[in-house]
Amino acid sequence: MQDLRKIIEAFVNNNENIKIYDASQNLLEYLISVGLGVKLDSFKEIILEEETQIELGGIKNYSTSVIYPISDKNCIQDGKIILIGPEIQEIQENKIDFGQIIIIAGENISESHYTDFQRLQFISDSIEGFMIRSIPRRFWCRISKDAIKKGFSFNLLGNSIIYLFKKQFPELIEAVEIIFISANEQNIKKFKEVISKIREIYKRNWAKKIEEWKERIGCNYDWICDVCPYNVTCYNISDIYELRKNIEFD
């Protein structure tokens, strides 16, 4: 966290365009008042190119997104949303570089929860007028023209993400802080080293899960499960094993 604080402090000292928001004390009431729907898995819309006002990231633009789970909530400021760069209404281009870092804290958070947190990062099914396109190694979002007319902003996006994470993990997440970088590739890359360290945690956790799975089923292949030609059969056997185990213990 200290590394992140130092980078943000440098932006402030250099008089960069920074906005700091505090999420609403009553997130649900705030989101209802805005008039854009925010609800888990309730907006499975596809935003076509002609319906799009702004694209964040994409194929030709630089983008990154990472979730940073920590156990000590005192290390972050719950509800703080930091925007480095212009707000939505200030952006003239229709495609921009974009980065986001979502820091979540809770005393009982462990590495076993990381995969679940990573999945919720792609919350486009939960915010009206906001879609995340799924492509390898890219974070690519579309914001619709209608959503921007209704006042869509990074402040609103931050409030929505905080609400959704706390709604999905009410007993686990105690605090959320978000950093958005909407300026340019150079500014996003200033966070590159910190983001790489965070991703290493996920890589180690994933490698550990694969090794545990292989040990459990007696697999001695060197390749990872994602590219294994037998993975479908393997997981089918796993489902049968779990079903049989549950029957035996009922």
pLDDT in tens, 189-237: 998 888 888 877 767 666 666 666 666 666 665 555 555 655 555 655 5
- The mean predicted confidence, pLDDT, of the chain is 81
Q: Please check the confidence at residue 241 and state whether its pLDDT lies above 60.
A: no
Judge whether 22 and 106 are in contact, CB under 8 Å. no
Nearest to 70 by CA among 197, 155, 180, 220: 197
Per-residue pLDDT tens digits for 11-69: 888 877 899 999 998 998 998 898 888 888 777 778 999 999 999 998 889 988 888 88
Q: Please check the confidence at residue 125 and state whether its pLDDT lies above 80.
A: no
Q: Highest mean pLDDT: which of 7-21, 116-130, 165-179?
A: 165-179
Top pLDDT among 19 and 120 is at: 19
Q: Please check the confidence at residue 249 and state whether its pLDDT lies above 50.
A: no
Domains and CATH numbers, the chain: 2-202 (3.30.1650.10), 219-250 (no CATH)
Among 123-132, 159-168, 235-244, which stretch is predicted with the lowest mean pLDDT? 235-244
The dihedral formed by the CA atoms of 91, 94, 99 and 104, expressed in degrees to the nearest 10: 80
Q: At a CB cut-off of 8 Å and minimum separation 6, what does 44 contact?
A: 125
Beta bridge partners of 82: 20, 179
pTM for this model (two decimals): 0.78
Q: Please check the confidence at residue 244 and state whether its pLDDT lies above 70.
A: no
